[in-house]
Every structure is written in C-alpha cells, then in structure tokens.
Amino acid sequence: MMTTSLETFLLLSPEITLFLAALIAYLAAAFSGLRAGWLVAVTGLGIAILVSGNQPDSGEAISSGPITIDGFSFYIRLLTYTTGLVLALIQSGDYWKSAVQDDSSQHKRRGTGEEAGTFLILLAGLSLVGLANDLVLLFISLELVSIPTYILLALKRTDAAGQEASLKYFFLSLVASALFLYSLACLYGLGGSTSLLAIGNQIQSLGSIAPPTIEGSIVVGTITASMAAVLLPVMLGTALAGVAFRMAAVPMHFYAPDVYEGTSTSNAAVLSTLPKIAGIVMLARIIALAIPPLGSGQTVGPVAEILLLQTWHLIAIVAAVTMTVGNCMALLQNNLRRLLACSSIAHAGYLLVGLAAVTAAATSEQGPLGGESITANALTLDGLASTLFYLATYVLATVGLFGGLIYLGHRWPEWSTSSNKRPRLEEIETVDDLNGLSTTNPVAAFCLATFLLSLAGIPPLPGFWGKLSLVTSSLSIGSGDAAFGDRRAWFIGLSIVLVLNAAIAAAYYLRLITAMYFKSTDKGVQADGGLSSGLAMVVCLIVLLSISIRPRGLFTSALRAGNTLSGNIATETMPPQTTQISVGDAMIASEIQKGNR
C-alpha cells in the first residue's frame, strides 16, 4: 500500500501553493470585499512556477506515495501553470470603461475572488493529473478539473445562454466521468491494484509468464489472459470516450459549438486548452501501461500487444474522423466562438495522431499472434514528443487568439438621433465584426493574424513545426501486419488526411485574416477588453515568435518528457514504498552522473 509522507507534501508544494492562494481569494472576497481576486491568482501562479522550477525535471524519477516527479510530469506541470498564468490575465475582467454602458452595468465588472479561487483549484487538479501514478488520485484529480469548470461556466456568464451552456457541459461531463471511472475499474480488475506500476507490470506479463508479485499491492485475485482479452476492449472504449469528451473529439464533440457560443469568451479559452491537456495525459497514461521502460530489454506478453494493437487502430480512426469533422464544420460557421470551437475539435484530431504513432511504434513487427514479443530497446517515442510539442504550440496560439478577442471587447454603437437611450453593448461575435481591424487597430490585427497563421500551420510559425513533427512521426512507422492491412499504409493514409485537413483549415483561418485586412467597416471596435488581456495577447505573440526562430528548445523538452513517460510507470522493479528517494538524493545522483560524463 502506498504511503504518504512529508516528502510527498514537499513534492506537492506548487499545488499546495495554488490551494492556499485559492483559499485567500475565497476568504478575502467573502470577509473583506476584495474584488481583485485575479491579482491573487496571478501572484499564486507566479510563486508556484518558481517553486516547481526548483524541482528536478529529468534524470531519476522521484516517487513518493501516489505521485511521481519526472520529465513528463514536470513538462505538464509547467505547461499548466504558464497557460494558467496567461488565462488568469485574460479572465481578469474589464479594466477600461466602454464607450457606452448598459443601464444595468454602470460599474466596471472586476474579476471576483470566487472565480479566481475556482480557477486556481482547476489548475491544481490539472497539475495533479500529470503527477498521479495511482488510479484513485488520477480520478480525484480529474474531478478537480471538471467540477471547477462547471462553477466557472455558471459564474462568468449568468444570462440564459450562459446557464444553458453550463448545464449542457455539466450533464455531459457527468456521463464522461462515469465512463472513465468504469475504465479505471477495469484497470483495477486487470492489475489487482490501484498502482499504475503494478497494473503495468501485470498487463505486460499476462499471457507469457506468471505475473510478478509486488509487495505492498492489494491483489484481489488472479486474472487470466482470456479474461484480460474481454476486459481490454471495454476498458479501452470507455476510457477513450472519457478522453474524447475532454478533448472535444469525435464522437463526444457535439457539445462544443453550443457551449462555446453560450459561454463567455474567456471561458471558451479555458475549454479550448486546459481539458485537452488533461485528455492527452489520461490517454498517454493508458498507453504507457503496455510499454516497458526504455533500455531495460524487458519483453512484453501478448496481452499488452493486443492492447497496443487495439489502441492505435482506434486512435488512428478517431483522429482522422475528428480532424475532418471539425474542419468541415468550421467552414460553415460565421459566429467566431462556434468557429473556434470547431477548430478546437479539429486540433484534437491532430493531437491524437502522435499518440497513435507512439502506440503503433511499440508493437512488434509480427503482431500479437506472430509469437514475437517487443522489447523496450526497439521503442521510439517521437510520436508522443510530437504530440506534446504540438500541444504547447496549439495552447499558445489559442490563448493568444482568445486574449486578442477579449481585448477588442465590443463594437462601437450606432447612436440614434430619435432616441435618448444609450444603445446596448454588442460583443464581437461574428467574422464580419473583424472587418477593417487592420485600419482601426493594426497591432491587434497583426497579433490575431499571426496566431491564426500558426494554427493553420504556415511556416515558419510553431504550428508548422508541430504539424511537420506529427507527419514525420507517422511516416516513421515501419511495415507490419495490422487488423486491416499494412501498418505503414495506415499511417501514410493518416498523414495524407492530416495534410488535407490542414489545407481545409487554412480556408477559414484565411477568411478571418481577409476580413481584418481586405474589408472595410463602418463601426469598428472599442478595444475595451482591458489592459491585462492586451498584455496576454502581446506576451503570447512574443513567445510564439521566439519559438518560430528557435523551436529546438521546446522540442527537446517535449522529447525528454515523452521518453520518460514509460519509465514513470515501469522502471521500478521493487515496491513503490521501498524505492522512494528524496529530492536531495536525486539531485546528488544527477550531479554524480554529470561528473562521470
């Protein structure tokens, strides 16, 4: 049984910092009337980033209780915190007064402590998803992502459309959580333990040799290969359904356009980015259960081969359908938030391509019935690295794009000489509202155009390098028997579908750029969304251009994170509680290795 010690809490110091900042935001808003909750959120996130930066990001994996700190968890943690920092800026509310105000909105709306505290808990839960090596903590962390999302959707926009969006997301998320919980129950039945280490060892050994006994794990019984063959498809299907909802992938994509349109622009930015990070981590954890540690020479039994074979087939199909459906839907949209929702669906398909590639690369040449087991020495994890790289570039461009839309705020009103009433505020909602933006606000137009070109995959922007890495990882898959044809043919076809969909996506992204640069407008925009959202837009632009010039640094970090994921699950052969090492010991061992080199 896993034990939680003081060392566990020290490793969780960034997440604890976020929970304390959330508590301060809640209490200060309730008892002292503090309305600058987002300032507390930004401060807490800054401290959390500094604390997490002092922890090792590579080398020996540090396991303590139900968590593991390694290259993969460090990458997810920093991606979560940096994304959350920018999202906190664009969610902070209106700081500049509009040219006109509704009669019911005479005062500027500031971000509330309740919203900021809830957002911090969401980020802490997402970070814990990347750290978890236990089924119980994994599910609790996912709920710490889902439940605050419901609250944010209900708090940020209280009109009828906002409440409808929050209710739709709430009920559908309950179904997705129930399905994923059922998949975790199947994993518990397969491994006889809640530890991902024990489950991975059990899956890898089933069907070849007697499963190893791991002291400290609660084994509920012995499972045979035939029983595993029945549980695997059920587990995989329910898990993928839960992941598809969070990523807005087919067949759980249908809620996205309605929810994005009904909620606020800042909440749409959250839904476009943070749940996708959680979905990638969830699916990568399941894939890693069947992959042995790199360099160990460990053989894998036929049950793990079957899991890998079924997984990459299913992910490849879902990826191709998702990117095609999302892009085709986006071509028909005129509402900006609905268009970006469909774009988010398409990008979920792109992200799944890398996961399909890494899963297929882990299968043997002959397949599960050929009698040839794979070894860890033959593995390549370029597919996972490509997904992690593309995830970071997608999040960066998407957050910057939404930040720019929030900064633009509202359209200039049309005053009537026959009425003394102030016209109502009108948000930027349609593509036509961006007409002529390059003449009225050239800086914002340039930023938005750059983000759109990156999402379209135009070189030399990061989106191009991300798509190129996904195609490269797909084309690197060798030949081998698959359920429906040659494995290499599958991934050549998947690469062609990705390239064609990138061309389709360019059509509606360029439509937005055409509206900003080649059309004129009589109204224009007020640019009243706030200084903080404008700052977030500019920061994202600077980082985006920096990665365009030197993408190698981000890809190296993504490659290190992908290569350590399988070691996170199965590098230890001893019980988890007997192989824990302290942070100090890990840093000393790292320095010794550097000295030896």
pLDDT for res 587: 36
Q: What is the phi/psi pair of residue 134, to 5°?
A: -140, 140
- Cβ atoms 40, 21 nearer than 8 A: yes
| Burial category of 589 from C-beta neighbours within 10 Å (exposed 0-12, middle 13-18, buried 19 and up) | middle
Average pLDDT of 181-196?
A: 88
Is 60 exceeded by the pLDDT of residue 578? no
pLDDT digits (tens, 9 = 90+) for 254-289: 899 999 988 888 899 999 999 999 999 999 988 888
CA distance 493 to 232: 26
CA distance 317 to 237: 13
**Residue 429 CB neighbour total at 10 angstroms:** 16
pLDDT digits (tens, 9 = 90+) for 351-393: 999 999 988 887 754 333 333 444 433 334 478 899 999 999 9
Looking at per-residue pLDDT, the higher value among 375 and 22 belongs to 22
Instruction: Decide: helix, strand or coil at residue 448.
Output: helix
Could you tell me which of 317, 328, 235 has the C-alpha nearest to residue 282?
235
197 Cβ contact list (under 8 Å, min separation 6) = 133, 214, 569, 570, 572, 576
Mark 203-228 as b/e (b = at least 16 C-beta within 10 Å).
bbbbbbeebeebeebeeeeebeeeeb
Q: What percent of the chain clears pLDDT 90, i.e. is strictly above it?
A: 41
ω into 251 cis (within 30 of 0): yes
Our separate counts of H helices and E strands in the chain read 21, 4
Average pLDDT of 458-478?
A: 91
Q: How is 470-530 classified by DSSP, letter by letter?
A: HHHHHHT----EETTEEHHHHHHHHHHHHHHHHHHHHHHHHHHHHHHHH---SS-B---S-
